[in-house]
Structure 1
Amino acid sequence: MTKLRSFDQDTVDLTAWRERGSEPGLVERILDTNPGLADLGPVLPLGTAIDVPEPQVQMPRSPVKLWD
């Protein structure tokens, strides 16, 4: 888990994008990991502690064979 502090005028989605780009579902996982974070409003107070969960591991897909 990565621990971050919010900058001035930060939002949860901006913090998620800054940390990992466009990882699907990251904002929702951050909100689940940090109870009460959504209650602070859309713009986080300066210095708010945010725990960012580890990336979800995706299993590699097996190649599709059109012919045997």
Structure 2
Amino acid sequence: MRVVHAQQQDSIDSIAWRYYERSSGVVEAIVKANPELVAFGAFLPQGTPVKLPDLPSSSIKPTVQLWN
């Protein structure tokens, strides 16, 4: 598990995109590891520590490209 600190105007979703490059299933995992974050609302205060859980590689879905 890794800990990062929220930047200005960060949301759980933006942190998921920044560190995992996706949000589907990841936001839920972050909230499960940090239940106290939901009290902050949409945006986290700058400097708030956020624990990033290690996700199993099987939960990572390949990216589908519609055109090459």
TM-score interval for Structure 1 and Structure 2 normalised by the shorter chain:
0.7 to 0.9
State how many pairs are aligned: 59
Unaligned residue ranges in structure 2 (runs of 5+): 60-68
Q: Which has the higher helix share?
A: 2
1:33 aligns with 2:30: no
Residue type at the aligned position of 1:5 = H
Unaligned residue ranges in structure 1 (runs of 5+): 60-68
- State the TM-score, normalized to the length of structure 2: 0.79
Following TM superposition, by how much is the alpha carbon of 1:23 offset from its aligned partner in structure 2, in angstroms? 5.4
CA RMSD of aligned residues (A): 1.5
Poorly superposed stretches of 4+, deviation over 2 Å: none
Quote the residue 1:3 is aligned against.
Answer: 3
Identity %: 34
